[in-house]
Amino acid sequence: MSYPGMPAPRFIETNGIRMALYEAGPPSPQAPPLVLCHGFPEIAFSWRHQLRDLAKHGLRVIAPDMRGYGATDAPAKVEDYDMEHLTGDLVGLLDALDIEKAVFVGHDWGGLVTWRMGIMHPARVAGLIGLNTPFIPRPPVEPIALWRERLGEEMYIVHFQKPGEADAIFARSVENTMDFMMRGPMPGATPSAGFATRRDGDASVFPLVRIVDAYDPARDPRPRFLTDAEQAVFVETFKRTGFTGGINWYRNFTRNWERSAGEIDHIAVPALMIMAELDAVLSPSMADGMERYVPNLEKHLILGSGHWTQQEKPAEVTALIADWMSRTFPG
């Protein structure tokens, strides 16, 4: 499907699925191409500003609808959304486009996949850029059990483990779901410490599914950063696809944790971490100490941005990426 203001999609076969790509920039730049990986609940359209503006810097830019999203296939099996499949899709993308190495840029869940590329497929990675999402080393205990104990049954990632429930609630009113998701920070917001450990007797932390189920847009004071036409792109897309493909990524946390046992948490390639001051979920403090695992790392903080940084502060994101690319891959 075509997204307004973006190039027409190109379809490739990768890792057993048909994937939609949106490309801009010169086909043979001197710097490695950039592959822009979106998160939940997003699509390649989330990168529309960077796709257009990074190309003006002479960079080749590729934004896929990731597995389960948009015009890309959405397999039925939950296990088909584990990290091996998600990173394998990106390797297959490079193969289909005859690209040896790329710089992978990831936001939200796309950031988790991007950092894993540096561990699982380092030979195909020229550099890595995390937007909001820091590198997170493998925890010593299974993550869902940990979050259930510390954050409660209705913390959204724990709640997502229930088959079909969040999917149905989000799809009941896609307009309300996307309206809740795609807003800027609360007026007067201050930097967050991210998810806090709840106290005994407290309700679950960030019960997203229940919040969306009861959401009234008229009572939400947070500012919108999308135009009506941009909002309609997300609404129309998720009305067609539903949310199950994206939620299935979350349903593989345990599987990913089990299958990553024995891997070394070390990324050797050059990396850039762009943090958002007011992201309540992926707070800047979560990137503290990343240098231990990603020694060739540069960090920048974008002030005033919430979670959807490439859409809330597109010019700042583009400028940081373009500048880092010019210095990391000169010529």
Query: Residue type at 186?
Result: M
Picking from 93, 125, 101, 78, the residue whose alpha carbon sits closest to that of residue 19 is 93
Q: Give the pair of three-digit tokens for residue 25.
A: 């920039």
Q: Give the pair of three-digit tokens for residue 168.
A: 């149905």
Query: Residue type at 182?
Result: M
Q: What is the CA radius of gyration of the chain?
A: 19
Active-site hit among 53, 89, 108, 279: 108
Rounded Cα distance between 310 and 276, Å, is 10
Q: Is 200 a catalytic residue?
A: no
Please report, for residues 91, 129, 136, 234, 270, the alpha-carbon distance to residue 114 in angstroms, rounded to integers and kept in the order given: 11, 8, 11, 23, 13
Active-site hit among 85, 107, 159, 307: 307
Picking from 161, 117, 113, 157, the residue whose alpha carbon sits closest to that of residue 133 is 113
Q: Is 307 a catalytic residue?
A: yes
- Cβ neighbors of 77 (< 8 A, separation 6 or more) are none
Which residues does the annotation mark as catalytic? 108, 307
